[in-house]
Amino acid sequence: MAGLSETKGPVRRKKLKTNTGAGYAFLAPALLFYSIFFIYPVIFSFIVSTKRWNMLVPLSRARNVGFSEYSYLLRDQMFLGVFRNTLVYALATVSLTIVVALVLAVLINNAKLSVLWRFIYFAPVVTPQVAIGTIWGYLYRPNNGLFNSILRLFGIKPIYWLTDPNVALWSIIITAIWAGIGGSMLIITAGLKNIPQDYYDAAKIDGAGPFRQFFHITVPLLSPTLLFLTATGFIGAWQVFDLPFTMGRNAPARSVMTVSWYVYETAFQSLRMGRASAGAFLLFCVIFGFTLFILWLFRRGGIKGYE
Amino acid sequence: MKRSVALLAVVLCVLLSFSALAKTKLIFAVHWSDYQVEGVKDENGNVKVKGLRQYVEEYQKLNPDVEIEIQSVPFDEYLKRILISHTAGVISDIYVLYSLWGVQLVDSGILDQVPKDIADKVRASFVKAAVDGATIDKAIWGVPVEVANYALVYNKKLLREAGFNEPPKTWDELIAMAPKLTKRNPDGTVAQYGFAFLAGWDSAVVHPFLALLYSNGGKPFKDDFTECLLTSKEAIEALEAELKLFKNGATDPAASVWTFPTGKVAMMIMAPWYETALKLGFKDEYEATVGVAPIPYLKKPATIGYTWFIAVDSASKNKKAAWDFIRWMTLQDAGGFTRMGELMAKNIGSIPPNKQDIAFFKAELNDLYTSVFVKELENTYQEPNVAQGQEIKTILMREIVEAWNGRKTAEQALSDAKKQIDKILEEFYK
Amino acid sequence: MNRKKVIRILLEIIRYVIIIFGAFWMILPFFWLFSASLMSPQELMSDVPKWLPEKPQWNNYLQVLKRIPILTYYKNSLIVAGSVTLLVLLTSSMAGFAFAKLRFLGRKILFSFVLSTMMFPVFIFLIPVYYLMKLFGWLNTYLSLIVPFAVSGYGIFLMRQFILTIPDELLDCARLDGAKEFKIYTWIILPLIKPALATLAILTFIGQWNSFLWPLIVTSTAQRLMTLPVGISRLSLAFSTVETQHLILTALVYQVIPMVVVFLYLQRYYIRGFVLSGFGNL
């Protein structure tokens, strides 16, 4: 089946000719775009990362400092710490979001009122930040928030969800998972719609129950989708900014700050654009390496979807 | 006949194009909200309170060769916007700057020199705190337009319930009073805090601490900014004074000043911009409930202030026109007051830093709330205009919060802050 | 027989219990937004969020209309978000098709390149792209709001993954019949990935609709181009937005509604894909 393997019989061989012309023709707009809006900014930022620049003097007058900003960052406890935070955030958020989204998407797919459920589960994606911040801020409030009130019923001491350095990052992760389920569910749903009903019918005839169907039909056929969600999930999670920035302002920065937040603050509060650019490049290297690792893992696990 | 008509037409065209060329365009970048820029209008669209737009239109009528475009960006994004546009050479002519931003701009040569007559007038007509705010490296770089400071805001009713008819005058009195104003629920959670600290951003945490530092006879930096003095005896005492409120149960890190309007906090250190929230929260009970007093002092009365000033970009092509407008708006007498002072007092609701305006706008400034802040201007120390001011304040904020949470002692927190801050000072002040 | 039926019914009940329990938590802040938009400033100041207004302040909606030019913002946001969505759908499906079904030299490397474009934090691009906008003279036009987002690595990746699931046999048949690649793209690929296109459309539209920082920077010199989020920010005050909080929440409802409409409208494309009977287990 397409996506699972590419059958190559003698008849096929003849058809596997390259269509380079068509390939590049279809890629042309994207390539043109990237040469202007990606390559130039990246080169620009790399140059900036070798200078001390506060964005107010012209770049040509900025002092050249070579790679000293890179070495500063690699020796800065704070910067290394925010990498740790971001790694924890990425691992927890991506894995749990995809698992929960997968289960829920499957449950909802053929349920009654599926469009209604799909909308409700998607609501967090369209809910403005201020509403999310208000409600979750209330849920997490130490004195009279909902979570601590429930804990009190069981005689458990109040947890300082957003101010305790040991807990704050996890509180943000929980909210992030809540916020991310909807988008992942939407993509999984699209993937589910691509799986022909034939397979499920055949499996039912063979006596397979819902769980067998899930693990032997649904998951394998969703593997391109799942790979997509995992890869883009991590790429996005490594760059997370909004949620930690708004929810983590009352916790010690070393326990909730993410790399993007650090870069943002370095650039626009400390006006050290060179250091911020260096931080961005270091982040890029980590994301690049991490993504390669994830793809390698997928291939090891026998999951196709990346060629 | 036809040729002379044609000639006339050509001459007219040339003259017209010259007059179009002669129109000077000024871009005025502000961070004010819609009502503050467009004015407050009633249902029929008549202007009830003038906004910046009305003053600009007035000026354009008096000076038909000048056109002023107002560009407004929210306060949180203002500096970002200046930085990003500037790199591409897209500048505004006139800015309203928070003084710490001004330091970066001055150091990079972005601001235009202030004409001598304006600088002299600023020194003569404005309150000291504001003049200090507009002073960077010993020179005045703009005209102050807004000054703010901090005071003790307390709930008169809650105080009376606990048997106090007067707010605390000294910090020791505050430390004694506050725990008696803290009430707990049977399950141990706090129903009412005796005191709450402003928190959430750098100025919120650092400013009250600086007030205590000055009140204790100390200061955060050497006058030439070559060293940070936060490990001095005065500084450690000032932070420990704050920590005493945490230790005796009067407050804790979960206390929030935003619950004051619902009666959950008895006392807090607050700024003038909170007035509307208090009026909205207490409604008819406002006058009977809200009290304002100077910050309880350690050794001498002191409070901290911050300033906004208006300045001109050094790359502006219309510097003279810009300063002319600024003169008209902020310094020229419009009938016993200045126009900028009127905008501040009547529309934006903050304190105009011009002494004449402070005396003139009694109705707005002499009320229950703002009057105390105005009176305290004489004890106000302007926050130091140090390079990398926001970076330094963020470092200090984080250390203070560690101390609040009992994770560091006052001495440890301040010495950690000093280490980082000294490194930054070294970069900029040799 | 009976036991199996009971288990099945039990599982169904558990299924709906899970769905409904989850739905409650998902909808909570969304519901609060609508409820809060009808509250007075005082009610919003309460320590604990109130769930229902005491007296619905329908007037808030009128006030917002009067205070800020919502219709202009709608127009601008629609032009920007709509254009970007169409461009992204087009470029992503084209590039996704190339990466999934066309063979050419450098395919793997170029795809890795596309992936890597997603790996840089967005702040890096603010300054150089702004400079480009000035250079091209686009600063006071919609182009500066649209073109920098016309191509999305995320979209290309998504399209590629979905197009991969289309059997090669289908395409090869068409090629045997002499169809050119563009015809295959238009008549075979696009119709088969409707759910994916709808998904990408929804996500792209929402991303653009809610975008704040870049439109703010760009429209600061061209205020007539302001999009909805930027326009709404004009209601907020430097400190303590309590005065206008109720209006901001109402304005946010104005912002949210079109996204809901787009989402619900595009649900029609979430239909079961082609039936593969006849292709069985190749």
How many Cβ contacts (< 8 angstroms) between chains B and C?
A: 87
User: Could you tell me what percent of chain B has a pLDDT over 70?
Assistant: 97
Q: Which residues of C touch B283 (CB under 8 A)?
A: 42
Are A252 and A221 in contact by the 8 Å Cβ rule? The answer is no
Min distance B74 CA to chain C CA atoms (Å) = 7
Residue B298 DSSP class: S
Tens of pLDDT, residue by residue over B292-331, are 999 999 999 999 999 999 999 999 999 999 999 999 999 9
Is the pLDDT assigned to residue A13 strictly greater than 60? no
Q: A85-94, B180-189, B295-304, C57-66: which range is least confident on average? A: B180-189
In order of their start, the domains of chain B are: 2-148+306-382 (3.40.190.10), 151-305+384-428 (3.40.190.10)
Contacts of C218 in chain B (CB under 8 A): none
Q: What is the pLDDT, as a whole number, of residue C179?
A: 84
**Is A19 within 8 Å of chain C by CB?**
yes
SS (HEC) of B375-430: HHHHHEEECCCCCCHHHHHHHHHHHHHHHHCCCCCHHHHHHHHHHHHHHHHHHHCC
Predicted confidence band at A30 (pLDDT cuts at 50, 70, 90)?
A: very high
Average pLDDT, chain A: 89
Q: How far is residue B245's CA from residue A287's CA, in Å, rounded to a whole number?
A: 45
Do B189 and A253 make contact, defined as CB atoms within 8 angstroms?
A: no
pLDDT for the residue B206: 97
Nearest to B277 among C134, C221, C240 (CB): C240
d(CA B422, CA B225): 9
The predicted structure's pLDDT at residue A3: 40
For residue A160, give both structure tokens. 């300082």
Q: Would you say residue A5 has pLDDT above 80?
A: no
For residue A304, which phi and psi values (nearest 5 degrees)?
Answer: -80, 180
Residue C102 C-alpha, separation from nearest chain A C-alpha, in angstroms: 6
User: Could you say which of C133, C216, C234 has the minimum Cβ distance to residue B34?
Assistant: C234
So what's the pLDDT on residue A10? Answer: 47
Contact list in C for residue B277 (CB cut-off 8 A) is: 45, 240, 242-243
Binary contact (A143, B405; C-beta < 8 A): no
Chain B residues inside the 8 Å CB shell of C39: none
Sort out which chain C residues have CB atoms less than 8 A from B74's CB and list them: 216, 233-234, 236, 238
- Picking from A33, A287, A122, A237, the residue whose alpha carbon sits closest to that of residue C153 is A33
pLDDT at residue A209 in the model: 82
Which pLDDT band holds residue B51 (cuts at 50, 70, 90)?
A: very high
SS3 C95: helix
- Identity at B44, one-letter amino acid code: N
Reference B306, options B239, B215, B386, B422; nearest CA is B386
Partner chains of A (3+ C-beta pairs under 8 Å): B, C
Question: What's the CA gap between C93 and C189, in Å, rounded?
Answer: 9
CB C236 within 8 A of CB C125: no
pLDDT tens digit sequence for A180-233? 999 999 999 999 988 888 888 888 888 888 888 888 889 988 988 999 999 999
Token look-up 């009528």 returns B61
**Kind of pairing, strands A63-64 and A51-52?**
antiparallel
Q: What angle do CA B381, B386, B388 make, to 5 degrees?
A: 135
- The arithmetic mean of pLDDT across residues A131-140, rounded, is 91
Inter-chain CB proximity A118 and C270 less than 8 Å: yes
Q: According to the model, what pLDDT value does residue B20 have? A: 54
> Does the beta carbon of B81 lie under 8 angstroms from any beta carbon of chain A?
no
Mean pLDDT throughout A101-107? 95
Check if A276 contacts C (Cβ < 8 Å): yes
Question: Cβ A56–B83 below 8 Å, yes or no?
Answer: yes
Torsion angle of the four alpha carbons A62, A67, A69, A72, in this order, in degrees rounded to the nearest 10? -150
Q: Which residues, 6 or more positions from B66, have their beta carbon under 8 angstroms from its beta carbon?
A: B23, B24, B25, B26, B59, B60, B321, B325
Residues of B in contact with C133 (CB under 8 A): 88
Chain C nearest-CA distance from B78, in A, is: 9
d(CA C250, CA A120): 20
- A 138-157 residues with CB below 8 A of B? 141-144, 152
Lowest mean pLDDT among A133-147, B89-103, C23-37: A133-147
What does the H/E/C string look like for A115-179? HHHHHHHHHHHHCCHHHHHHHHHHHCCCCCCHHHHHHHHCCCCCCCCCCCCCCHHHHHHHHHHHH
Could you tell me whether strands B303-312 and B143-149 are parallel, antiparallel, or unpaired per DSSP bridges? Answer: antiparallel
Choose among A292, A290, A227: nearest CA to A259: A290
CA distances C31 to A108, A287, B33, C43, C203, Å, are 21, 36, 28, 16, 21
On whether the CB atoms of residues B267 and B181 are closer than 8 A, the answer is yes
Q: Which of B383, B395, B388 is nearest to B219 (CA)?
A: B383
Query: Which member of B81, B262, B274 has the closest CB to residue C240?
Result: B274
pLDDT of B291 reads: 96
A197, C272 contact by CB (below 8 A):
yes
C-alpha–C-alpha distance, residues B78 and C200, integer Å: 33
Closest CA to C91 of C154, C47, C142: C154
**Which chains would you list as touching B if contact means 3+ CB atom pairs under 8 Å?**
A, C
Are B83 and B68 in contact by the 8 Å Cβ rule? The answer is no
Q: Which residues pair with B196 in a beta bridge?
A: B268
- The pTM for the full model equals 0.92
**Residues A19/C104, Cβ–Cβ less than 8 Å:** yes
pLDDT of residue A22: 87
Q: Give the model confidence (pLDDT) of B344-362 as tens digits.
A: 999 998 999 999 999 999 9
Rounded Cα distance between A136 and A138, Å, is: 5
Are the C-beta atoms of residues A276 and C123 closer than 8 Å to each other? yes
If you count DSSP H runs as helices and E runs as strands, how many of each does chain A have, helices first? 17, 2
**pLDDT tens for residues B135-179?**
999 999 999 999 999 999 999 999 999 999 999 999 999 999 999
Measured at the alpha carbon of residue A89, what is the angle toward residues A83 and A90, in degrees to the nearest 5? 90
> How far is Cα B418 from Cα B406, in angstroms, rounded to an integer?
19
pLDDT at C239: 76
Residues of B in Cβ contact (< 8 Å) with A165: 407
pLDDT for residue B225 is more than 60:
yes
Q: Is A190's Cβ below 8 Å from some Cβ in B?
A: no
Cβ(C100)–Cβ(C196) below 8 Å: no
Q: Is the pLDDT of residue A131 over 80?
A: yes
Distance between CA atoms of residues C133 and B88, nearest Å = 9
pLDDT given at position B21: 61
Question: Which amino acid, residue C211?
Answer: S
Closest-CA distance of chain A to residue C125, Å: 6
Compute CA C116 distance to the chain's CA centroid, rounded to the nearest angstrom.
Answer: 21
- Which residues 6-35 of B are in CB contact (within 8 Å) with A? none
Domains and CATH numbers, chain A: 56-127+179-300 (1.10.3720.10)
Nearest CA in chain B to C140: B90
Q: Is the pLDDT of residue B338 over 60?
A: yes
Interface of A with C in 26-85 (CB under 8 A): 26-27, 29-31, 33-34, 36-38, 40-42, 44-45, 55
pLDDT band at B399 (very low <50, low <70, confident <90, very high): very high
How far is residue B143 from each of residues A67, A141, B132, B354, measured CA to CA in Å?
Answer: 41, 43, 11, 10
Asked if residue A293 lies in contact with residue A58, where contact means CB atoms within 8 angstroms, the answer is: no
Q: Do A186 and C128 touch (CB under 8 A)?
A: no
Residue ranges in chain C modelled with pLDDT below 70: 1, 273-282
Q: Alpha carbon of C228 to those of B76, B269, B359, C208, C231: distances in Å? A: 18, 36, 42, 10, 5
Cα separation of B257 and B266, whole Å? 10
C265 touches A at CB < 8 Å = no
- B175-182, Cβ contacts within 8 angstroms, sequence gap of 24 or more: B175/B241, B175/B244, B175/B245, B175/B248, B175/B250, B177/B267, B178/B245, B178/B248, B178/B250, B178/B251, B178/B266, B178/B267, B179/B248, B179/B249, B179/B250, B181/B250, B181/B266, B181/B267, B182/B249, B182/B250, B182/B251, B182/B266
For residue A305, the model assigns a pLDDT of: 53
Tell me if A22 and C11 make a contact (CB, 8 A cut-off). no
CA distance C58 to chain A (A): 19
Q: What is the model's pLDDT at position C274?
A: 53
A297 touches chain B (CB under 8 A): no
CA atoms of A82 and A253, how far apart (whole Å): 9
CB of C102 less than 8 A from some CB of A: yes
Judged by CB atoms closer than 8 Å, whether chains meet at C121 and A181 is answered as no
Taking the C-alpha atoms of residue C117 and residue C92, their distance in angstroms, rounded to an integer, is 14
Phi, psi of B39 (to 5 degrees): 90, 160
**CB contact at 8 A, B33 and C235:** yes
Going by their DSSP bridges, the two strands B47-49 and B40-41 should be labelled as antiparallel
Query: How far does A249 lie from chain C, in Å, by closest CA?
Result: 16
List all residues 6 or more positions away from A263 whose beta carbon is below 8 Å from its beta carbon: A276, A279, A280, A283, C121, C123
Query: Inter-chain contact A119–C264, Cβ cutoff 8 Å?
Result: yes
- C-alpha B80/C-alpha B84 separation (Å) is 6
Q: What is the pLDDT of residues B23-44, one digit of tens each?
A: 899 999 999 999 999 999 888 8
Could you report the per-residue pLDDT of C39-70, keeping only the tens digit for each? 998 888 887 888 899 899 999 999 999 889 99
Whether chain A has a CB inside 8 Å of the CB on C151: the answer is: yes
CA distance C36 to chain A (A): 9
